[in-house]
């Protein structure tokens, strides 16, 4: 009876305790509302279906403890992890019971106070000797659970080939089956699967724990008020010891290595006692050898460090030397890197541009350089490796609110590394405004001097035929009856008049050349026509002609004027040679210009003659007028071309003619052709 009374008193006390607990349930929690909590259905030991089919685990026990503390009614919704995330986002559940914190997730979810520190790990097969850290995963197959936070951590490693699975158990199995090179996932969960199936000997964890981060309950921002009661409950279970019991229950059992049984322990002790001494002696010997090796390697490292310091000093001196070299040049220099940003400027460029400091590190298109250096040309050099030489542009510089026109001449070159890859651009430019003004003055003086020479030449060339005509005319009254004189008069006077007419025509052509009508034509075809016209002269002197003109070499100029230029050059070469001479004609590309070289082995010219060869009425021929090369020079200038020569007295002359090529034929084509002999 006494026992029954005590039992009755116990029941009444229990009912009273339950009543008091019901009275202490927070008023904010609605007792009739069920909170739906989602979790991973296969993430042991945090949350999973056990062998009995009951959803259990560390997270489940934590949530049950929170339910007891808050009085909330909780309904667990086990799902694959990626489906659990979708369910939370779609509002099908109120919270996820265990989620690792990250800045990216924090933008989407609100997190409770952390109740665990979670980290990821890299799992590889035991025999793998190539993967030790995250960087070693590039170019390899890696299994990972869909929606796992490790995807965010590996996002910067773009060369990894991800194989996504619905659960971490499937990801571990892919590694065991050899279908992937590594598995990245929760360290505790991965060890659990391996220990459960007794497969620890096949897999190892490499590297340090990846991103140890807080772990807690996650809700959408609209349910943030739910976290207030959850945070209070987490604090209570940590204070009253409930959390420690749950933690020891799960992690004391699963993440520690399996305990050796006594029989194995005795076996290990029997074997270990026999070889323990040998191992210790081996370790001591190895330690001694290691010390020697460390000492040797340390000396090597000191030597390498000293060499590196010397190389760094040499490199710094080299950079300083380059800067000093650029600063000592007459031109203004700017270099750009591969992204078009200014890498280096010499002091003259800084002073000329009137900037307070070098524009190092700034994109060129955002600086004053873009006002006179075309961005399209810089982009073309960086992309195609083109070269722009002797380009000129008018730049209106603003000085104290006044616009000042400057003539800028610039060159743009690509920078190549050893692998012939374009790594940057060199721009050098000059202010040639004063030089241009001086050139104009010199040209004006040269024109006046040439005009004087022209007048003298005209006077001389006209006086000779006029003297002949005057002489014959004065003799006409006295010798008119002489038949021979009349025949001679009828022959010589018209010839002298025709000579004067030809002189006047040459003067008109020199003074007022026709405007060129440029068109595209093949250099080899035009030269073939020129040689055909000169074939009689070639045969008379038995001259051997060799041509080397590529069929791809095209010129843009006036065809008739170019033909006249080449005829003048070829005839001059033929007339300068004795019989059985050699005429060599070849062509090639040089930047944006096509080059034709006409070389002979004739008498050559003295330095004085080379200087005056293009002046009007200057000729080394006995009966030459001296307008052929002057007209040639004028026509070339009208067609955007140039002419140069190399000559040595007694060894022949080479005329070098440059004419524009079509715009689509850039430098680097390198047109050459095999020789053809006539």
Question: Other C-beta atoms within 10 Å of 229: how many?
Answer: 19
Tokens of 97: 């019971």
Residue 468 has pLDDT above 50, yes or no: yes
| 479-530 confidence digits (pLDDT tens) | 777 887 777 777 777 777 776 776 666 555 555 556 788 999 999 999 998 8
Residue 540 has pLDDT above 50, yes or no: yes
Give the span between the Cα atoms of 62 and 230, in whole angstroms: 11
**Range 518-677 classified under CATH 3.30.565.10:** yes
pLDDT of residue 277: 86
Give the span between the Cα atoms of 213 and 510, in whole angstroms: 89
Task: Tell the residue number behind the tokens 């025999």, with chain if given.
Answer: 127
List the one residue out of 567, 566, 552 whose CA is nearest residue 520.
552
Please compute the mean of the pLDDT values over residues 549-556 and round it to a whole number: 92
Q: Running DSSP on this structure, what letter comes out for residue 363? A: B
pLDDT of residue 92: 94
Instruction: Determine contact, residues 78/41, Cβ cutoff 8 Å.
Output: yes
pLDDT of residue 402: 75
pLDDT of residue 112: 93
| Record: fold of 34-254 | D-Maltodextrin-Binding Protein; domain 2 (3.40.190)
Give the span between the Cα atoms of 627 and 509, in whole angstroms: 10
pLDDT of residue 634: 80
Q: Running DSSP on this structure, what letter comes out for residue 358? A: -
**Higher pLDDT among residues 435 and 410, named by residue:** 410
Residue 251 has pLDDT above 60, yes or no: yes
CA 275 to chain centre: 61
CATH assignment of 437-511, given 1.25.40.10, 1.10.3720.10, 3.30.70.1560, 1.10.287.130? 1.10.287.130
List the one residue out of 519, 508, 625, 608 whose CA is nearest residue 568.
625
Residue 17 has pLDDT above 60, yes or no: no
List the one residue out of 572, 570, 627 whose CA is nearest residue 605.
572
| 79-101 confidence digits (pLDDT tens) | 999 999 999 999 999 999 999 98
Give the span between the Cα atoms of 286 and 484, in whole angstroms: 127
Collapsed DSSP state (helix, strand, coil) of residue 325: helix
CA distances to 378, 389, 436, 445, 642 from 439, in Å: 29, 20, 5, 10, 17
Residue 8 has pLDDT above 60, yes or no: no
pLDDT of residue 27: 39
Tokens of 317: 């001196």
User: 133 CB contacts (<8 Å, ≥6 apart)?
Assistant: 122, 206, 207
pLDDT of residue 141: 93
Residue 18 has pLDDT above 60, yes or no: no
Instruction: Determine contact, residues 372/405, Cβ cutoff 8 Å.
Output: no
Please compute the mean of the pLDDT values over residues 276-303 and round it to a whole number: 89
**Range 329-431 classified under CATH 3.30.450.20:** yes
User: 42 CB contacts (<8 Å, ≥6 apart)?
Assistant: 48, 49, 80, 167, 168, 169
Tokens of 491: 């022959």
Residue 392 has pLDDT above 60, yes or no: yes
List the one residue out of 423, 404, 405 whose CA is nearest residue 414.
423
Lowest mean pLDDT among 272-286, 560-574, 606-620: 606-620
Tokens of 165: 């699975």
Residue 595 has pLDDT above 80, yes or no: yes
| 145-180 confidence digits (pLDDT tens) | 988 888 887 877 878 898 999 888 999 999 999 999
Tokens of 510: 């020199």
Please compute the mean of the pLDDT values over residues 328-335 and round it to a whole number: 78
CA distances to 187, 243, 252 from 249, in Å: 18, 10, 6
Question: Other C-beta atoms within 10 Å of 75: how many?
Answer: 11
List the one residue out of 497, 505, 678, 659 whose CA is nearest residue 585.
678
Do 34-254 and 329-431 show the same overall fold? no
List the one residue out of 632, 502, 613, 617 whose CA is nearest residue 567.
632
Instruction: Determine contact, residues 662/556, Cβ cutoff 8 Å.
Output: yes
Residue 283 has pLDDT above 50, yes or no: yes
CA 113 to chain centre: 47
Residue 369 has pLDDT above 80, yes or no: yes
Give the span between the Cα atoms of 214 and 117, in whole angstroms: 5
Instruction: Determine contact, residues 526/570, Cβ cutoff 8 Å.
Output: no
**Higher pLDDT among residues 651 and 155, named by residue:** 651
Task: Tell the residue number behind the tokens 């029954």, with chain if given.
Answer: 4
Could you give phi then psi for residue 520, rounded to 5 degrees? -90, 135
Tokens of 642: 């140039």
pTM over 0.85: no
Give the span between the Cα atoms of 118 and 97, in whole angstroms: 14
Query: Considering Cα of 154, then 159, then 162, then 168, what sign does the dihedral take?
Result: negative
Q: Domain spans of the chain?
A: 34-254, 329-431, 437-511, 518-677
Express the helix, strand and coil content of the chain in percent, nearest 5 each.
Answer: 50, 25, 25
Give the span between the Cα atoms of 174 and 165, in whole angstroms: 9
Give the span between the Cα atoms of 288 and 166, in whole angstroms: 51
Instruction: Determine contact, residues 368/353, Cβ cutoff 8 Å.
Output: yes
pLDDT band at 235 (very low <50, low <70, confident <90, very high): very high
Instruction: Determine contact, residues 604/647, Cβ cutoff 8 Å.
Output: yes
Omega before 45 cis (within 30°)? yes
Lowest mean pLDDT among 5-19, 232-246, 472-486: 5-19
Give the span between the Cα atoms of 237 and 242, in whole angstroms: 5
User: Read out DSSP for 428-483?
Assistant: EEEE-HHHHHHHHHHHHHHHHHHHHHHHHHHHHHHHHHHHHHHHHHHHHHHHTT-H
What is the residue-averaged pLDDT of the chain?
81
């Amino acid at each position: 009876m006494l026992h029954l009374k005590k039992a009755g008193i116990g029941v009444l006390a229990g009912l009273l305790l339950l009543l008091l607990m019901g009275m202490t349930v927070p008023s904010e929690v609605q007792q009739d509302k069920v909170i739906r909590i989602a979790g991973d259905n296969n993430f042991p030991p945090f949350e999973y279906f056990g062998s009995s089919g009951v959803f259990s685990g560390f997270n489940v026990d934590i949530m049950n403890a929170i339910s007891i503390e808050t009085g909330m009614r909780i309904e667990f919704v086990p799902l694959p992890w990626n489906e659990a995330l979708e369910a939370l986002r779609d509002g099908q559940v109120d919270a996820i019971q265990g989620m690792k914190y990250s800045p990216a997730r924090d933008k989407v979810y609100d997190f409770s106070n952390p109740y665990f520190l979670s980290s990821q790990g890299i799992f590889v097969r035991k025999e793998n000797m190539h993967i030790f850290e995250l960087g070693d995963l590039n170019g390899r197959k890696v299994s990972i659970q869909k929606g796992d936070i490790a995807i965010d951590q590996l996002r910067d490693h773009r060369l990894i080939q991800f194989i996504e699975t619905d659960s971490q158990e499937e990801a571990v199995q892919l590694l065991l089956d050899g279908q992937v090179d590594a598995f990245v996932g929760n360290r505790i969960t991965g060890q659990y699967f391996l220990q459960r199936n007794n497969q620890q000997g096949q897999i190892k964890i490499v590297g340090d724990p990846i991103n140890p981060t807080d772990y807690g309950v996650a809700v959408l921002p609209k349910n943030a008020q739910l976290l207030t009661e959850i945070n209070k409950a987490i604090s209570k279970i940590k204070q009253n010891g409930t959390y420690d019991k749950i933690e020891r229950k799960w992690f004391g059992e699963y993440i520690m290595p399996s305990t050796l049984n006594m029989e194995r322990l005795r076996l290990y002790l029997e074997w270990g006692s026999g070889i323990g001494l040998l191992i210790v002696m081996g370790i001591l010997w190895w330690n001694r050898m290691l010390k020697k090796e460390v000492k040797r390697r340390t000396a090597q490292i000191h030597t390498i460090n000293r060499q590196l310091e010397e190389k760094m000093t040499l490199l710094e001196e080299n950079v300083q030397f380059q800067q000093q070299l650029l600063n000592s040049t007459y031109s203004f220099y700017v270099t750009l890197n591969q992204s078009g940003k200014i890498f280096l400027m010499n002091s003259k460029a800084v002073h000329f541009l009137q900037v307070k400091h070098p524009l190092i590190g700034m994109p060129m298109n955002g600086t004053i350089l873009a006002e006179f250096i075309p961005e399209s040309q810089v982009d073309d050099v960086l992309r195609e490796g083109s070269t722009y030489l002797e380009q000129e542009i008018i730049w209106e510089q603003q000085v104290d609110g006044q616009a000042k026109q400057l003539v800028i001449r610039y060159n743009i070159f690509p920078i190549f590394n050893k692998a012939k890859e374009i790594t940057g651009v060199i721009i050098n430019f000059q202010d040639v405004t004063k030089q241009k003004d001086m050139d104009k003055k010199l040209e004006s003086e040269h024109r006046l001097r040439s005009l004087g020479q022209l007048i003298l030449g005209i006077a001389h060339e006209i006086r000779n035929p006029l003297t002949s005509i005057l002489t014959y005319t004065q003799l006409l009254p006295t010798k008119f009856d002489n038949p021979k004189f009349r025949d001679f008069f009828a022959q010589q006077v018209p010839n002298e008049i025709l000579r004067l007419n030809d002189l006047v025509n040459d003067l008109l052509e020199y003074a007022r050349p026709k405007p060129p009508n440029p068109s595209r034509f093949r250099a080899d075809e035009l030269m073939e026509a020129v040689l055909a016209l000169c074939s009689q002269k070639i045969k008379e002197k038995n001259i051997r002609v060799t041509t080397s003109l590529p069929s791809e070499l095209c010129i843009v100029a006036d065809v008739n004027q170019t033909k006249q230029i080449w005829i003048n050059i070829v005839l001059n070469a033929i007339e300068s040679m004795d019989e059985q001479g050699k005429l060599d004609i070849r062509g090639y590309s040089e930047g944006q210009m096509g080059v034709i070289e006409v070389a002979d082995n004739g008498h050559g010219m003295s330095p004085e003659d080379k200087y005056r060869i293009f002046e009007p009425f200057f000729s080394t021929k006995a009966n030459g007028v001296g307008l052929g090369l002057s007209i040639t020079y004028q026509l070339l200038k009208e067609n955007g071309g140039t002419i140069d020569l190399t000559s040595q007295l007694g060894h022949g002359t080479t005329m070098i003619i440059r004419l524009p090529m079509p715009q689509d034929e850039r430098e680097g084509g390198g047109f050459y052709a095999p020789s053809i002999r006539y």
